[in-house]
Structure 1
Amino acid sequence: MRKLLQSCVILSLCLTGVASAGGHEKFVSYEVNGKAFQAYVAQPASAPKGKVFIVHDWDGLTDYEKKRADMLAELGYQAIALDLFGVGAKLEGFEDYRREAGALYGNRAEFRARLNAAISAASATFDADLKEILIGYCFGGAAVLEAARAGLDLDGFVSFHGGLGTPEGQDYSATTGPVLLLHGSADPVSGMDDLAAVLNQLQEANIPHGAEIFGGARHSFTIEGSRDYDQAAEQGSWNAFMRFLKDNIGS
């Protein structure tokens, strides 16, 4: 990690351990302008190969993202599941999810400030010299692209079935690393026209990029138990992500 965007947030850090089978899991607690946040950290058993930040879906930081972090730790990566909504956010159903996600979509400066603060907190606490990749699912995938457009100084960006729309006035000219888009061809939220638009924008900005399309997969194809879950697309997207890590962090 090198340098993140300057922002007006007030940031304080606290590292706390939690019980786990391997003893390697921790939380990073921090504040942004008086609002409390907490990121989940899964540490590998040996020296980490690199660092992966994970942005949650619109239902907040849940066991899903923690499971993905644990999977990455087992593979030798330091994995941090970020919190963009705050520990006090009410997240009990659809209306709550829409409120929290909508507030950030409607205030892009705050969206970027929270991304910047979350990554800064983890980077300041753990192995600052490691290469760093940002990934996200659904809302988190859209957050990944927001971070890329914001110019957060990371080594790569991966969106799993994320929202692909580019807000007016934004572009990818400040993006610092390669971008990988993992998307379903039947996604009703961001369709193939949206995907083509992002790829064209990345090409125009001369940013290394790629996409893998999963035929017939809908929006939340990696979320087991959802109506859109697609096992083949989930495994295929994970394999593509593993190749991206190898290419941009190393084995």
Structure 2
Amino acid sequence: MTRLTALASAATLAMALIGQQATAAMKTETIEYRIGDETFSGFMAWDDEFDGKRPGILLVHEWWGHNEFVREQAQKLAKEGYTAFALDMYGKGKLAEHPDTAKQFMQEATSNFEQLKERFLAAKGLLEEHDTVDGGKIAAQGYCFGGAVVLNMARSGVDLDGVVSYHGSLASPIKAEPDKVKARVQVYTGGADQMVPPEQVAGLVEEMQLAGVDLTLVTFPDVLHSFTNPGADKIAEQFGLPIGYDKNAAMRSWQGTLDFYNAIFSQ
């Protein structure tokens, strides 16, 4: 073996070891849990490169159900130093491949708000009890259906430091009331989102203002529903839905979210 070949081999081995170490730092776990007679399947992610207890973030999936997209978001948060738990709002095995099925699952989940809240709180408890989590520092973020869920959890007074809604419905029969909402609220919506029309945006601002809620709302001009999900364009083409991925809006909302968490958890 020549010296050059030996050096190249050593470099390849070193890079492989670095890759293994990086992979080893990221920890993920699929957690099955029961609520009443139903089984749910969530996904916990954290990074061992960060020492000590850290804030925990709950993630609520789109109307499709607990899928790969929401698990990827959990891992992105873990890389930033949080422990993230992508919960399951529908029940184990309920993952839609067609909008009609997704709508059915969503309607079943939202037909009983107390049941929905029970599922959210059960997942929150699992996150708070994780060895890496400071149970006094918890936030939640959601996408589409999940965005509406986290907003309603804030409206109902769930003890959260903050919530972030991405392209979620902003209208709700549940209304924020003065001194009831504990969380700071951040909302990202698309200016061309047919599912979240301007009157919903205006209504949310008025509602939160009257309730004295700390609200940050960002609307992206000409951006469609589901703008954070790179798979949205394919789904739009397949089913003729008015949705679409927008790289700029996705990047800006992600960075805004990280800044938001840094602010609320550094207090």
Task: Report if TM-score (shorter chain) is over 0.5.
Answer: yes
Alignment partner, residue 248 of structure 1:
264
Q: Per-residue deviation at 1:244?
A: 0.5
Query: Given the alignment, which residue of 141, 146, 161 partners 1:155?
Result: 161
Q: Give me the CA root mean square deviation.
A: 1.7
- Name whichever structure is richer in helix by fraction: 2
Query: Given the alignment, which residue of 217, 226, 235 partners 1:211?
Result: 217
Alignment partner, residue 189 of structure 1:
195
Query: Given the alignment, which residue of 49, 54, 58 partners 1:53?
Result: 58
Distance 1:36 1:219 in 2: 30
The number of residues matched between the two structures is: 230
Give unmatched runs, 5+ long, in structure 2. 1-22, 234-243
Distance 1:247 1:201 in 2: 23
Distance 1:64 1:239 in 2: 18
Give unmatched runs, 5+ long, in structure 1. 1-19
Amino acid at match of 2:122: A
Runs of 4+ with deviation above 3 angstroms: 20-23
Normalised TM-score (structure 1):
0.86
Q: Per-residue deviation at 1:23?
A: 5.5
Instruction: Output aligned runs, 1:71-150, within 5 Å.
Output: 71-89=76-94, 91-126=96-131, 127-150=133-156
Contact 2:189 2:220 in 1 (8 A): yes
Q: Deviations over 1:9-52 (max 9, x none)?
A: xxxxxxxxxxx743611133211111001210111222354111
Q: Which has the higher contact order (CA 8 A, sep 6+)?
A: 1
Q: Per-residue deviation at 1:188?
A: 0.4
Q: Percent identity?
A: 29
Query: Given the alignment, which residue of 245, 262, 265 partners 1:229?
Result: 245
Query: Given the alignment, which residue of 19, 22, 25 partners 1:22?
Result: 25
Distance 2:220 2:80 in 1: 24
Distance 2:182 2:31 in 1: 25
Q: Per-residue deviation at 1:128?
A: 4.5
Q: Deviations over 1:53-96 (max 9, x none)?
A: 11000111111111111111111111111111111325332222
Corresponding residue SS for 1:43: strand
Corresponding residue SS for 1:236: helix
Normalised TM-score (structure 2):
0.81
Q: Deviations over 1:73-120 (max 9, x none)?
A: 111111111111111325332222111101122222221121122212
Distance 2:26 2:135 in 1: 23
